[in-house]
Amino acid sequence: MNIPANLKYTKDHEWVSLEGDIATVGITDFAQKELGDIVYVEVETLDQTLEKDEVFGTVEAVKTVSDLFLPLAGEIVEFNESLETTPEKVNSDPYGDGWMVKVKVADVADFDSLLDSEAYKNLIGA
């Protein structure tokens, strides 16, 4: 199970990296394995400001659809448009080319309240 130590995580299986006040968000390796083959990623919240834990989109796998929850309050400033034609990048490279959105974070201090890799490993029993 790939759980990079340089990222933060949520109980809803999103990962977050932070550069300045811009957070990159995707779903974890654990989440993509649980979902199976991802066939569609939908984000209709581009340019919207959302609160922490609000739904920012959905990910559709062969057998299920799951909501995506925003780990930090802020404005969705970018969507990984390559996922429109190649959603399987979320399966093959969840922490790289499979990222989903970039968020201009309202309060950078909130990043510290997310789970570190050890806490996330404990959550999923890894």
For residue range 13-58, list pLDDT tens digits in order. 999 999 999 999 999 999 999 999 999 999 999 999 999 999 999 9
pLDDT at 1 (0 to 100): 80
Is pLDDT of 92 > 90?
yes
Residue type, 53: D
Question: Do 66 and 59 form a contact (C-beta atoms < 8 A)?
Answer: yes
Coil, strand or helix at 12:
coil
User: CA 32 to CA 15: how far, in whole Å?
Assistant: 12
